[in-house]
Copies of this chain bind each other. A is one copy, B any other.
Amino acid sequence: MPDSNVQPLAMMLEKLQRRSTFTVNEAAALLGLPFRLAALNAASYIVREGDDPQYCCVILSGWAYRHKTARNGARQILAIHFKSELVGVNHGLLAAADHSIQTLSAADVAYISHDALLKVAAEFPNIAQALWRETLVEASVAREWIVNVGQRDARQRIAHLLCELVVRQNAGPVPASYSIDWPLTQEQLGDATGLTAVHVNRTVQRLRATGLISTNRRSVTILDWPALQQAGAFDQAYLHLPEAQPADMRQRPAPV
**A interface vs B, CB < 8 Å?**
50, 66, 68, 70-72, 74-76, 78-79, 90, 93-96, 98-99, 118, 121-122, 125, 128-129, 131-133, 135-140, 142-147, 149-152, 193-194, 233, 235, 237-238, 240
Contact = CB atoms under 8 A, between A and B. Distances in A.
A72 B122 contact: no
Given A128-B125, A143-B78, A149 B96 contact: no
A151 B70 contact: yes
A109 to B, nearest CB: 21
B146 A78 contact: yes
Contacts of A66: 143
Chain A, interface SS category: helix
Contact of A132 (B99, B131, B237): B131
B94 A136 contact: yes
A230 to B, nearest CB: 9
25 contacts: A50-B237, A68-B143, A70-B152, A72-B151, A75-B151, A78-B143, A79-B143, A90-B136, A94-B136, A94-B240, A96-B237, A96-B240, A98-B140, A98-B144, A98-B240, A99-B140, A99-B143, A122-B129, A128-B128, A132-B135, A139-B139, A142-B142, A142-B143, A149-B194, A151-B194
Q: Quick one: copies of this chain in the complex? A: 2
Contacts of A132: 93, 128, 131-132, 135
A71 B238 CA distance: 14
A139 B237 CA distance: 18
A16 to B, nearest CB: 13
Given A71-B235, A78-B146, A125-B128, 4 more contacts: A68-B143, A70-B151, A76-B146, A93-B133
Given A132-B132, A233-B71, A237-B98, A145 B147 contact: no
B152 A149 contact: no
A66 B238 CA distance: 14
A193 B151 CA distance: 9
B147 A70 contact: yes
A233 to B, nearest CB: 4
